[in-house]
Structure 1
């Protein structure tokens, strides 16, 4: 009989996101919301790993910060070991210092609807981005009072935006229209007027057209293979795209897309198994062919994109949650260690 997985529960707050610190191998941040994020307060939890029995550590709640609206995502700073940003249901982006005990050290109010994701560039370490239900992706630096760039990424919700781990000027987004888009921050319109107020960029450098009416809820860049991304959403499928195979919009068979935009991407893998929508995909930082997914079917799953012929790509199912699983994150230091979080107010550790 397997030992129970290490678990931390914070009653009254549904977890939306879990993130490992890039500086400390035993520190986690968890973004949470009351009433499943529909209405009410939020809370940022700081969690540490302590020595446990067997191969897995235990979890301990160190500190928590209340917010007036729900929190949907968190990302640690890449330049300051004690700072992180959060995305909130009131559209605000907040910068926190975990050595302080109460208020954020900066708040930005530019998004007109819910801010749903944040991501800190690990190449341009003084820049982070946010995405919102207002259809935009915004780029920020901690020391400026306003965003430095706005990308008009979609007509509807932009569920996630991430910097490329290989190229400092590429940002990928996924949205309610089902498309995966890659923006090049070196675009002439941005270089001419790189501000959020005068000349926002609305044309992506690359567009992977949607497959049917499904919304794409999550994406991630492969850490070892440039321009390879995984995406998933409401159609329950996890797809891996090689975006090096492209065509110019308007060419034969290129499909819909703005002029001067590259359209295409080869679907390398189309993995099925989740019973409901997939809310999170994340590639392993240690293996080029391994990724984790979290789903409304109350499971967190681990897949291989390089399974031997005849073997299914699914490696493991973690079904310890009792509500929607909406976040998962690989440890950057401990190979095979994965944290998941869900609407059952629990953070659970597992090892591949």
Structure 2
């Protein structure tokens, strides 16, 4: 379990440690306002040093052995202060959370000029199944600036993402071949002006061209060709000045929205967008010349469209979720009723993810903090019946709204889930409780100082340290690498069990 450890504030100072979140603040140089803040704002987790000495004052010749024993006892108590923290466990006065760096293969942090509450990972030509360090990743993100005119799309190239894992005893893995654990990654960026805050941004899944869609707070969806902007990150001297989008989706009539997804099958230049007035529109590139938005929307939901997902197996099929608590499956060949509709949660359904390896499974996250997995075979067979549908699996670990959910691109049973409770959790739904091992696991947890919190066996990892996490995405070409964004900035990480 990759949960943080708890350490008292005094002990934290004694050993030279810093809270991972505040460390990012400390690392920022006092630079000019603007995008200059990006440079070197990554922060490696500090190398742990558990060999701090306790200096005993022996000036008084009358000190006896009892005083020495007391000092040693206090030292042991300080060492016992380091223990596993799980959400729900109460922090004592003076305790702070410190990430267990031995649980991560890689952990880097990045703060930006303005919070970016949505982002997507750009496909590249650096190869699939990349596992070697250092790594490189490209992302596009949209800002939430204080003034509408200050908003931007950020195109970022993060390179020299080194392995940062340190063992608990501070000994480096000699077999890793990486001697640069503490080297800072390099960040290069380009910006594109954006009218209004960016509610959501999504990239067309194509490695050769970078077509990006952005939902503006002003009720318009913009489609951009950022191919040359991304290329300029790799080519010194190449400039790309993009000031206007290729196309604007105006059918939403200035109604704000958040839901958006590009097709990955058939014509990849197909974009679905859903708004807060419960309408879904389809925009398509026709004859490779111009985009066009259908005049008639898909209707049927009774409240705001929160998320959209194209089917990974059938090019004409997509799913939607809504604040009305339902999930629906549609066919673009008809603008009539949804093919399947069911009540998924008693609260808003904020996000959905369609499993690309097992296409009968859809995961959903709700405003109550519950997330569920639905088997479309079961849902379809009971469609139209009264009463709620039964999910294939359901979990109530998160205590605040689920803000992001995504299946692992290469492991059909693994999920990443983000919540407003400042957690990113990793799950393997193939795992089951082992009654024979439970007593041993409980004893080991107690010996490690773990709190008495019931942990589902499917919960692999808890990542914390960000404030108000909004989105998390698996890197499609670097297995196990995740990127998350929050009000406090970005994290790029890979756990030892992903």
The alignment's TM-score, normalised by the length of structure 2, stands at 0.61
Q: CA deviation at 1:55?
A: 5.7
Contact 1:166 1:226 in 2 (8 A): yes
Q: How far apart are the structure 2 equivalents of 1:94 and 1:45?
A: 15
Map 1:1-352 to 2 at 5 A: 1=48, 2=101, 5-11=107-113, 13-24=114-125, 26-35=137-146, 42-54=151-163, 58=185, 60-79=187-206, 81-98=209-226, 99=228, 100-103=240-243, 104-112=245-253, 113-124=255-266, 125-142=268-285, 143-147=290-294, 150-186=297-333, 190=334, 201-212=335-346, 214-245=347-378, 246-247=380-381, 250=384, 254-255=385-386, 266-310=390-434, 312-321=457-466, 323-344=467-488, 346-352=489-495
The number of equivalent residue pairs is 323
The CA RMSD over aligned residues, in Å, is 2.4
Which has more strand, going by share of residues? 1
User: Contact 2:122–2:210 at 8 Å: present in 1 too?
Assistant: no
Alpha carbons of 1:284 and 1:249: their partners in 2 closer, same or farther (altered >3 Å)? closer
- Cα 1:224–1:53 change in 2 (3 A) is closer
| Alignment CA distance shift 1:145-1:236 (3 Å) | same
Q: CA deviation at 1:81?
A: 1.6
Higher helix proportion, which one?
Answer: 2
Alignment CA distance shift 1:309-1:88 (3 Å): same
Give the conservation status (yes or no) of the 8 Å contact 1:121–1:128: yes
Whether contact under 8 Å (1:243, 1:265) holds in the other structure is no
Deviation at 1:74, TM superposition (A): 1.4
The separation in 2 between residues aligned to 1:97 and 1:215, in whole angstroms, is 33
2:139–2:156 contact (8 Å) kept in structure 1: yes
Structure 1 CA distance for aligned equivalents of residues 143 and 300 of structure 2: 26
Unaligned runs of 5+ in 2: 1-47, 49-100, 127-136, 166-183, 229-239, 435-455
TM value normalised by structure 1: 0.84
Shift of 1:275: 1.9
1:282 and 1:249, CA in 2 relative to 1: closer, same or farther beyond 3 A?
closer
SS at match of 1:151: coil
1:116-170 per-position Cα deviation (integer Å, ceiling 9, x unaligned):
1221111031211111112111111242243365211422210111101111111
CA offset at residue 225 of structure 1?
1.0
Unaligned runs of 5+ in 1: 191-200, 257-263
SS of the aligned residue for 2:297 comes to: strand
Structure-2 change in CA distance of 1:312 and 1:123 (3 Å): same
Task: Determine the C-alpha separation between the residues in 2 that align with 1:14 and 1:156.
Answer: 27
Counterpart of 1:244 in 2: which secondary structure?
A: helix
SS of 1:110 mapped into structure 2: coil
Partner of 1:197: none
